[in-house]
Structure 1
Amino acid sequence: MHVALVTETWPPEINGVALTVHSLATGLNSLGHRVEVVRPRQSDEEAMEGPAGIEQVLVRGAALPRYPGLRFGLPARHTLLRRWRMERPDAIYVATEGPLGVSAMTIAHRLGIPACTGFHTRFDDFVRHYGLGFLTPAVFAWLRRFHNRAAATLVPTEELAQFLRRHRFRNVRLLHRAVDTRLFDPQRRDEALRAHWGLTPDQLAVVHVGRIAPEKNLDLLVDAFRAIQRQRADARLILVGDGPARAGLAQQHPDIVFCGLHRGEDLARHYASGDLFLFPSITETFGNVTLEAMASGLAVVAYDYGAARERIADGRTGVRVPFDDAEAFIAASTALAVDGETRRLMGRSARTAVEGLNPASVTNRFVELLSDLSLRAA
């Protein structure tokens, strides 16, 4: 098949959408499919090399307001029309709902190319965290109109699929997520890295990985850590990532260890060198970091939705707490911080629980979905 993937974010940008689309692209390429990725040109593009065998179609982009380091694609109808008339894809996957994604959907309809979308981000939730909560209903209605133009909307959990169906999203299909357990592995634990954090082997590293941004509910993360500190004075909070809230958070809490952005084996080393993973976000459609932490042998405390609901066996491979119950989140975090035996047992069980997840199976399912759309359109 010839598959076009349209995305407004791509590595080295670090977020769930970029990493998921990159995984799909490399998986398709490994199976011998022709893959083109349509995306905005990044600021340091000349210094980067794309994955071998994957065609890069670069379009104009602009900086995303209040999100340093991320861009969105500008409308590109003429570019896509010209390209896809000359070399017509069998199917198109649109991962983002910005101007570039809208252009791709418009041209796909015009040329009669089957297109599916991915529901990756709850932008209707995001606007509340930037003082624009009054826009939430309008943003959600826009998301529904956008995705209902597609032949199918792909989602990572049955929970999200049911939610969207209840709210009149059509043709919602399930595409599970996996994790690279060869990369994310407890064996990557690094005592030298922990020493750099100011920790001895017996002290407690509380880890969080993700965008340092308002929508990630980081105030609760800090509150939970302060509660842990009252029981474990030796604990340190380790934040891996970057984002618009980092400077303010660092100023308010100078004892937090900010590690910045890390990728690949270096990121895996940061996970494995922790002892407890806290994930307080309430705006995720999935939460890939949950699986990465579990694969790294960490007990995870997270709200009962998304990846946590799908993969954490509550009380055995981590702790799921009632959605948006801050007191329960803090209590669960503190309990695991002081109970080292239970925490380590959960971490080992978490690793075992995700060992069977295979990224290749996700790619195969993706191919099946795209092939079905292509056959229906024929």
Structure 2
Amino acid sequence: MDVTDLRVALFSGNYNYVRDGANQALNRLVDYLLRQGAQVRVYSPTTDTPAFEPAGELISLPSVPIPGRGEYQFSTHLGSAIKANLAEFDPHVVHISSPDVAGHRALTWARKHDIPVLASVHTRFETYPRYYGLGFVEPAFVAILRRFYQRCDAIVAPSASMIEELREQGMHHDIGTWSRGVDRSIFSPEKRDLAWRRSHGIADDEMAIGFLGRLVLEKGIDIFAETMVELRRRGVPHKVLVIGDGPAKAFFADKVPEASFVGFQQGADLGRAVASMDVLLNPSVTETFGNVTLEAMACGVPVVAANATGASSLVMEGETGHLVPPRDVAAYADRLTAYAEDPDLRRAHGKAGARRADAFDWDTINGAVADTYLRIIEARRGGAKPSA
């Protein structure tokens, strides 16, 4: 079998109704597969106000809004119509990108019909409860995820650090890499725009510390805010540039009064905004790869990040930025203070990051996923079965 012969059923918890790094990667994968001649059907909750046009054929799954986070939908079941659609499509492989209800039901359907399943890991779901005072349920989350992933034929994760974490958790024995790429026509040091910075109250000689992402607690905005408080206490001159939007914006704005909030950006506007930072501070520990880290590096921006999955596979300590113990506010402030005092070091680390970003080509990365599909299909035809 060749990639041109493939029929892929892809299940996502959020394919295009709210833009994020995970669904951007999924849409790029589908676009790549379609360009190779494969057939793809995507099954995901949908809304009347999608964030962008989806790549490929999108089938809507039954869903309800998540309580307290109404911008997100939670699948409730597959239903007979979806199962009939799957049977008619007759996929060679099922790809599940979210361990939600539909993901569990799709896995059961695939096993019943002897169809191999690839699961992709996009976020540290088990870490989310700790940001909402529910850290005690984390072991149960890990156990549920372990049961889910062990029933799959293989899983892919976006970074070596995430693969190591999954192995330590006993999630699966067959874990491959599906990295992430970056569009260098959008993210480049040449996109830096001093006039745009000035329009947002940032002078040419001021160090702009950037935040990039959804404004939600699980992105570590509390640690970011505490670090800015520490910099103010130390008298370190700086400005804050916040790119993104989300339900925690009011909390963030109250904690970082020196910040310029430029809202959600995309395309060329996003590239300009990222390149106009002087350093990215990314304290999130929920990332499996860290798209925002790679985008900043591609723009020649040094990164100070939590030493956690994702960033630890991208940031070269003392070369393209710094890795800091996840909740060590003083350590974050130390690294940012050093950059404020030494602009030449800041620029040198940024240039090194831009060179490192050159290695992340989307088609090569997505080709590895197609190869994994073909491998597990052949293994299943040869009699191999999931371990659980």
Q: TM-score range by the shorter chain?
A: over 0.9
Structure 2 residue 371 is the aligned partner of structure 1 residue 368: yes
Matches within 5 A, 1:1-378: 1-11=6-16, 13-45=18-50, 49-51=53-55, 54-170=56-172, 171-229=174-232, 230-233=234-237, 235-378=238-381
Letter in 2 for 1:3: V
Work out the CA distance in 1 between the residues paired with 2:169 and 2:348: 40
Name the SS of the counterpart of 2:310 in structure 1: helix
DSSP 3-state at the match of 1:257: strand
3-state DSSP of counterpart to 2:69: coil
Larger displacement relative to structure 2 (73-82 or 347-356): 73-82
Conservation of the 8 A alpha-carbon contact between 1:80 and 1:107: no
CA deviation string 1:197-255 (max 9, x = no partner): 1112222211110121122221221232234444443x221111122211222234443
User: How far does residue 66 in structure 1 lie from its aligned partner after superposition?
Assistant: 2.6
Q: Name whichever of 184-193 and 126-135 sits farther off.
A: 184-193
**In structure 2, how many angstroms separate the alpha carbons of the residues matched to 1:15 and 1:344?**
28
Rounded Cα–Cα distance in structure 2 between residues aligned with 1:352 and 1:175 = 21
Q: What amino acid is aligned across from residue 156 of structure 1 in structure 2?
A: P
SS in 2 for 1:101: helix
**Residues 3, 92 of structure 1: 8 Å contact kept:** yes
Gaps of 5+ in 2: 1-5, 382-388
TM-score (norm 2): 0.91
Q: Which one-letter code corresponds to 2:58 in the other structure? A: Q
More deviation in 252-261 or 30-39? 252-261
Could you tell me how far 1:311 is from its partner in structure 2?
2.1
Q: 1:79 to 1:262 in 2, by over 3 A?
A: farther
> Using the alignment, how far apart are the partners of 2:113 and 2:170 within structure 1?
26
Deviation at 1:12, TM superposition (A): 5.2
Contact 1:67–1:243 under 8 Å retained in 2: no
Q: What's the offset of the Cα at 1:163?
A: 2.4
What letter is aligned with 1:180? D
Give 1:238's aligned amino acid: L
Distance 1:323 1:240 in 2: 21
Aligned length: 374
Gapped runs of 5+ residues in structure 1?
Answer: none
Structure 2 CA distance, aligned partners of 1:310 and 1:48?
A: 29
Question: After alignment, is 222-231 or 359-368 more displaced?
Answer: 222-231
Distance 2:229 2:170 in 1: 42
Taking only the aligned residue pairs, the percentage that are identical comes to 30
For 2:165 and 2:52, locate their aligned partners in 1 and report how far apart those are by CA, in whole Å: 39
Normalising by structure 1, we get a TM-score of: 0.93
